[in-house]
Amino acid sequence: MKEIQVGLIGFGTVGTGVVKLLQNNARLLEKRLGARLVLKKIADIDLTTPRDVQIEKDILTKDAGEILNDPEISIVIELMGGYEPARSFILEAMHKKKSVVTANKALLAVHGNEIFKVAEEEEVDIGFEASVGGTIPIIKTLKEGLVANEVKAVFGITNGTSNYILTKMADEGENFDDVLKEAQDLGFAEADPKFDIEGIDSAHKLAITLSLSYGKRVNFDDIYREGISKISQDDIEFAKELGYKIKLLAIAIQREDSIEARIHPTMIPFDHLLANVNGNFNAFHIICDAADSVFLYGQGSGMMPTASAVVSDLVDISRDMLKGIARRVPSRSSREDIIEDIKLKSMDDIVTNYYFRFSAADRPGVLSKISGVLGENNISIASVIQKGRKHNDAGAVPIVMMTHESKEKDVRSALEEIDRLDIVRGETILIRIEDDNLKSDFIQGT
Ligand code: HSE
């Protein structure tokens, strides 16, 4: 039987999962591929930590060069994470005509333009299914399954840690810091949890998703991002009362002249599928012109789910190698030689519905002052909730308002003005609401 020699750089949790999967499902993979995947070398700087998998000791090395310089190895799996030396290893592998499989979302979000260009020039493949949505085949879905479609919008729950925190806060009334600690103990939070709770990890994943959905070059820093650290139990309770769940959403919407790309806590109607994606699960709601609505759901992290995505890339590339072809599918779905920069809509210009929670003095005239400023800034109020006289620490009461569609720029000017009023105590909380946009007929009509 034919063999395909593979090298693995990075023997951490996912790396161990890949080794396990290649061993446990070796027969099945041979049957499906018609060849044997041979893990020839594993490189990691830490060779002493025990891993829950049996391997021949002599395949382990501390030197990634033993993989990169081995002419028999035709596919390199990079699972070390981080920017360097991962970037240099991937580029070197490609310059040596090896195809690459990686789960490195941060690297692809920031250096993807360079990496995809080199892959094209060297005529090698780069598989990155595991970089977005863990086990969910979102990359293949966008590149192949939905290739005939114009993607109108993608709404994703792409950070398991944030989703786990929001779910536990909503369902069990748990406190933010305690649940974050649980997510860290369970192993799906990033080494620096700021990446999770400040929306950076989701933005990495959205950058990759955008480049595939629209076949464009994306500049990571242009993506608007806001995390969940300001979300309190009060907002979760008010959202419930109003018929919404709060989720950290990665949003891409094609508008007439540009594309909206934003990450922020979002209120979603209770009955929408995304509102029912709980715990550390990830999901994507894709709206297309022909396929209409497509929904994907699954584990966004974890040893074996992520390994499943890595091995799927390995098999895809190997299948093509066995047929003597490469780059059957372009890395970003569209031809690399004609790829253009994406045109993102300025955040100031987005139009959506808003939830505001003001913390204000409990005295006559307060509501009219606030609504006056909103009115002067073209913001029309759809509903108001003011609870009885249960004052918070600042001696203030919460006033909640929902708006009709408003422009972000107007909202920011209004809130700046309102937060300067002497009747307002502390910063107003703003949460965007996605309601109509989640309906495919609404998006199709834009
Ligand atoms: N920290 C990430 C998450 C892991 O919480 O989703 C998967 O990318």
Say which CATH architecture domain 138-299 belongs to: 2-Layer Sandwich (3.30)
Q: Would you state the pLDDT for residue 265?
A: 98
Q: Would you state the pLDDT for residue 364?
A: 87
When computed from its CA atoms, the radius of gyration of the chain, rounded to whole angstroms, is 24
Query: Cβ–Cβ contacts within 10 Å for residue 87, how many?
Result: 18
Distance CA 202, CA 21 (A): 27
Is the confidence at residue 188, as pLDDT, over 90? no
Please state which of the four CATH numbers 3.40.50.1820, 3.30.70.260, 3.40.50.720, 3.40.50.300 is assigned to the domain occupying 350-438: 3.30.70.260
Is the confidence at residue 443, as pLDDT, over 80? no
127 lines ligand 1 (CB under 6 A): no
Summarize pLDDT for 270-281 with one digit per residue, the tens: 999 999 999 999
Q: Would you state the pLDDT for residue 395?
A: 74
409 a catalytic residue: no
Is the confidence at residue 445, as pLDDT, over 80? no
Q: Would you state the pLDDT for residue 363?
A: 86
Residue with tokens 């966004």: 300
With beta carbons less than 8 A apart as the criterion, state whether 431 and 246 touch.
yes
Q: Which of 188, 200, 249, 303 has the most ligand 1 atoms within 8 A of CB, as the residue to mutate?
A: 188
Average pLDDT on 277-300 reads: 97
302 lines ligand 1 (CB under 6 A): no
Per-domain residue ranges for the chain?
3-135+303-339, 138-299, 350-438
3-state secondary structure of 202: helix
Please identify, by atom number, the ligand 1 atom nearest to the C-alpha of residue 306: 7
Q: Which of 301, 304, 308 has the most ligand 1 atoms within 8 A of CB, as the residue to mutate?
A: 301
The pLDDT confidence band at residue 93, using thresholds 50, 70 and 90, is very high
Quick one: which H or E segment has residue 258?
Answer: none
301 lines ligand 1 (CB under 6 A): yes
Strands 292-299 and 281-288 turn out to be antiparallel
The pLDDT confidence band at residue 446, using thresholds 50, 70 and 90, is low
Which spans in 348-434 are helix H?
Answer: 366-376, 408-419
Q: Would you state the pLDDT for residue 187?
A: 87
Q: Would you state the pLDDT for residue 191?
A: 81
With beta carbons less than 8 A apart as the criterion, state whether 226 and 248 touch.
no
The one catalytic residue in 98, 105, 152, 205 is 205
Query: Cβ–Cβ contacts within 10 Å for residue 440, how many?
Result: 19
Instruction: Record the pTM.
Output: 0.96
Q: Could you tell me which residues are beta bridge partners of residue 406? A: 352
Write the burial class of residue 271 (CB in 10 Å: 0-12 exposed, 13-18 middle, 19+ buried). Answer: exposed
11 lines ligand 1 (CB under 6 A): no
353 sits in the region (left: phi over 0; alpha: psi -120 to 50; else beta) called: beta
190 lines ligand 1 (CB under 6 A): yes
Average pLDDT on 215-233 reads: 96
With beta carbons less than 8 A apart as the criterion, state whether 407 and 378 touch.
yes
- Rounded percentage of the chain residues whose pLDDT exceeds 90: 90
Summarize pLDDT for 346-387 with one digit per residue, the tens: 999 999 999 999 999 888 899 999 999 999 999 999 999 987
Distance CA 101, CA 22 (A): 14
Total residues found in the chain within this entry: 446
133 lines ligand 1 (CB under 6 A): no
Summarize pLDDT for 111-161 with one digit per residue, the tens: 999 999 999 999 999 999 999 999 999 999 999 999 999 999 999 999 999
Say which CATH architecture domain 3-135+303-339 belongs to: 3-Layer(aba) Sandwich (3.40)
Provide the greatest CA pair distance for the chain: 84
Please identify, by atom number, the ligand 1 atom nearest to the C-alpha of residue 158: 6
Summarize pLDDT for 62-88 with one digit per residue, the tens: 999 999 999 999 999 999 999 999 999
The pLDDT confidence band at residue 389, using thresholds 50, 70 and 90, is low
Task: State residue 336 phi and psi, 5-degree precision.
Answer: -65, -30
- 183 CA → ligand 1 middle, Å: 10
CA 205 to chain centre: 4
Provide CB contacts within 8 A for 251, sequence distance 6+: 153, 154, 155, 156, 206, 260, 261, 262, 263, 264, 266, 434, 437
Q: Could you tell me which residues are beta bridge partners of residue 356? A: 401, 430
Residue type, 230: K
Ligand 1, atom 7: nearest CA belongs to which residue?
A: 301
3-state secondary structure of 154: strand
